[in-house]
Chains A and B, each alone.
Chain A
Amino acid sequence: MNKDIINKLKENELLGRGGAAFPTGLKWEMVKSAKAKKKYIICNASEGEPNVFKDGFILENYPAEVVSGVKIALENIDCSSAYIYLRKDYYEKFKETLEKLIGNLSITLFKKTGGYLAGEETSVFETIEGKRPEPRIKPPFPSQAGLFGCPTLINNLETFYQVSKIAKNQYKKTRFYSISGEVRNEGVYQLPEDQSIGQTLRETDNWPNFDFYVQSGGGASGEILLANELDQPVRGQGAIVVFDRKKTNPFSLMKKWINFFLEGNCDKCTPCREGVYRISEMLEKDKIDKKLLKDLFFVLEETSFCALGKGVVVPFHSLISKVLGEKI
């Protein structure tokens, strides 16, 4: 059944659900064709961004599918063993269930240490190897030299769930949406992956009856979209956060974001360590220094070591230009 799983992943055009939306079939193929005596598979359930809670939901409701997805990878990739890399509370909560499902499969549960960045794929390798969670220089890419220097397949937990569905021919091109904020029906919903945010809010009876805007993707790195921009599908990790324009203080919101980045980044590179610090310093004054902010955005986007630093800019830029109406 699983012999042509890679072809099936390609046919179904499955994209990674961790945020970067890399074609899953291609990733699997690269690891499968890499020449090595040992390979690793990592199921990443480090889910650490605010307002993103779909991996927890999947673990709660569909743990068997997740383990089955990892098992398919184990069968498909020679000489491999796997880790399920779990956020600390997920580890405590789902350890027993997962262990039962795993049985004697070569899958190890790993309890994540460290902050948000410890979920970035190369930082995951460093963490499992017992080092400080910091991103690695690429290349080499994980499919060439990942965990312990071996070719490594690392996918988000939801991706493995979808793999098991594809293997059983039950894949319906859905994704899991974490919907939160000023909504009536907070929760995780499984809906078509290309459905617009507007439709998703309506279908879940969450379309607000007040002046609002949303954050699409994740509750820190996601882009701010106005009500008239919701005819596009959700990005990143599939989170939709609704804000009541009247009730939301944009500065408090930005402070919440910047504190998250300040806590969650690894402080390795200058633009992210210092840039984030200086943005937080500026926000403390409840004033926007446009020239400064533009400069910091520039180095964050252009010179950050990893995607986290590059991604800091999006929420701030979109909020300031769309909600505060400042040209930046």
Chain B
Amino acid sequence: MKKKINLIINNKKIDCFKGQTILEVARENEIDIPALCYHSDLKIKANCRMCLVEIKGKKGLFTACSTKIEPSMEVITDSPKIKKARKINLELIFAQHCEECNDCIWDFNCQLLKLAEKYKIKTGRFLDRKTGYPVYQFGPSLIFDSSKCIDCRNCVDVCQQQGVNFLEIKEKGHLFQVIPSQDENKDCIYCGQCIVHCPVGAFEALGEFEDVEKPLQDKDKIVVFQFAPSIRTSIGEEFDLPYGSIMTEQLVAGIKKLGVNKVFDTCVGADFTTTEEANELIEKMEKGTTPCFSSCCPSWVKFLEFNYPEFIPHLATTRSPQVILGGLIKTYWAKKENIDPEKIIVVSVMPCVAKKYEIRKKELAVNGMRPVDYVLTTRELAYLFKKHKIDLAKISPQKLDDSLGIPSGAGVIYGASGGVVESALRTAYEKITQKKLSKIEFKQVRGMKGIKKAVIEINGKSVKIAVVNGIGNAKKVLEELKENPKLYDAVEVMACFGGCIGGGGQPVPTDGKIRQKRADGLYQIDVQKEIRLAHHNPIVKKVYHDFLTSEEIIHSICHTKYSPKKREVEIS
């Protein structure tokens, strides 16, 4: 039991727990303290010096983020002195940040702007210090505009927490600044956690604002959209709806309003991924070549290819849901609908910036075509909606096109950490035992913990499972496997915290509580589904019966190959 203590903030008595900081207690009690470098995912840095408070009986100002509460402490969060200090520091921070408010992922939710208004700062007091600072591009996925950086270093810390260490602090002319590493042994894996942890929008997806219309502009083409599992419970945030709101049919309606011909659900692709991946797991278990690693997170795949190529044989060769569905759209569906596949443009809406990288992989080509032509992030689609004055909060819902079926519950939970393994287990259980699975849910693998371990009994055999979210944790599991290669049978890895619901393409802000609500929404959808096992999905059965009939075809649509990677990101 945590020890309860009393605290007074602004003359109000508050119950809280020993070990908490002033900022945590204040936020829980809806007392506003500005903080730019604070993020609940990261360790406390106390760099920005905005969360200043006074403590009765103590001299000076204290940073609320780093000061632990003490019994009967009396905290004051607003005084002329506090105001003055915050205001001047804010003016200094503001002068580091070259604003580009129209093209910013924080849109009108910008903390800097809100604080500037609240503290009535003189925005022009100093000349912008970072005018002309470089913009760096990280592969086909994201950009870092260092002229917007306020040196809070959240990005550096999250990149380090991810075990990637691509962002570094280097001194240039007596001033330290954040720059991408030049080290050939380090490479960005495009997880985009820097984007969602930057308080001022210095990072964004490549083409986040400039290129969103591109997929819709070619009038001779048939534009087909698909959207990822996790999108449906996150995009509502962009329209001021509560966290975790389920928006599946509003999404369909919104996308159609953009003039799009067909809207499919990537969760259907996930049902194919599950079926194939379950087969791979069963095969590896039979041959004794486990562990079997999940393969639908492109950041994880790149991380492994770059840092741990010796583990490549363990990576499932199954393609990710968007790629399988894209491949099926341009083959099976095109044929069925009598459409020239060359005329189809497939656009995926993903919670992810690494998916922009994934679709460019040459080895994924189907009949010489890219299965997916464009990837838009959740944020980009919301921006596109807003640009076209489409308000998802008000739109009348529309059903999905069912010419490529509707997803099972298993496909939907892909968006949360543990979802892939749970889906595969549901299917693998039935395939191995030839019995109906009575207890469908594997709750042991759910939740936000960085590494979850479980042992599941199937047919008297123990299947050892590790579920990882946050790629930094993958390092730990891989190091364990180096020591003991048979420690796990199935390993699911998602590079982002909480899985895709915490992806780098998701709305900001993103934190642990928000991720949990997005995940809760997905599990709620699953519960309501009649079909909750991927291989029970009629479209899966039908496509395997009618189209995916040979090893060769299955391979060309559903599988890929990997190779050790050298550094790809070039920094000039």
Measuring CB to CB, which residues of chain A are less than 8 angstroms from any residue of chain B?
A: 132, 137, 259, 262-263, 266-271, 273-275, 277-278, 281, 292, 295-296, 298-299, 302-305
B176 close to chain A: CB less than 8 A: yes
Contacting residues, chain A, for B66 (C-beta < 8 A):
137
CB interface residues, B 49-108, toward A, < 8 Å: 49-50, 52, 60-61, 66, 81, 84-85, 88-89, 92-93, 95-96
In the complex, which of the residues B47, B96, B174 contacts A262, with contact meaning CB atoms closer than 8 Å? Answer: B174
Main secondary structure of the interface of A (DSSP, over half): helix
Count the B residues whose beta carbon is within 8 Å of the partner chain — how many? 28
**Residues A271 and B89 in contact, CB atoms below 8 Å apart:** yes
Given A263-B174, A275-B92, A277-B129: A298 in contact with B85 (beta carbons within 8 A): yes
**Residues B49 and A271 in contact, CB atoms below 8 Å apart:** yes
| Bound: A132/B177 CA distance, A | 13
Given A266-B176, A299-B92: A137 in contact with B52 (beta carbons within 8 A): no
In the complex, which of the residues A266, A268, A270, A302 contacts B92, with contact meaning CB atoms closer than 8 Å? Answer: A270
| Residue from the set A262, A269, A271 with the largest chain B CB neighbour count within 10 Å | A269
Sample 20 A-B pairs with CB under 8 A, ordered by A number.
Answer: A262-B175, A263-B174, A267-B151, A267-B176, A268-B47, A269-B46, A270-B48, A270-B151, A271-B49, A273-B176, A274-B93, A277-B129, A278-B95, A295-B88, A298-B84, A298-B85, A299-B85, A302-B81, A303-B52, A304-B49
**Residues A305 and B49 in contact, CB atoms below 8 Å apart:** yes
**Residues A137 and B92 in contact, CB atoms below 8 Å apart:** no
**Residues B89 and A270 in contact, CB atoms below 8 Å apart:** yes
**Residues A298 and B151 in contact, CB atoms below 8 Å apart:** no
**Residues B126 and A137 in contact, CB atoms below 8 Å apart:** no
**Beyond known contacts A271-B49, A299-B85, A302-B81: 16 more, CB 8 A cutoff:** A137-B44, A268-B45, A269-B47, A270-B50, A270-B93, A270-B151, A273-B176, A274-B129, A278-B92, A299-B89, A302-B52, A303-B52, A303-B61, A305-B46, A305-B47, A305-B49
- Residue ID in chain A nearest B52 by CB atoms: A303
B458 close to chain A: CB less than 8 A: no
B169 close to chain A: CB less than 8 A: yes
Q: Tell me the smallest distance from the CB of A209 to a CB of chain B, in Å.
A: 39
The 5 closest A-B pairs by CB, nearest first: A274-B92, A267-B176, A303-B49, A299-B88, A262-B174
**Residues A302 and B96 in contact, CB atoms below 8 Å apart:** no
Contacting residues, chain A, for B61 (C-beta < 8 A):
302-303
| Bound: A262/B46 CA distance, A | 20
- Residue ID in chain A nearest B96 by CB atoms: A274
Contacting residues, chain B, for A262 (C-beta < 8 A):
174-175
Q: Tell me the smallest distance from the CB of A141 to a CB of chain B, in Å.
A: 14
Q: Tell me the smallest distance from the CB of A41 to a CB of chain B, in Å.
A: 27
Q: Tell me the smallest distance from the CB of A110 to a CB of chain B, in Å.
A: 21
**Residues B169 and A132 in contact, CB atoms below 8 Å apart:** yes
CB interface residues, B 88-137, toward A, < 8 Å: 88-89, 92-93, 95-96, 125-126, 129
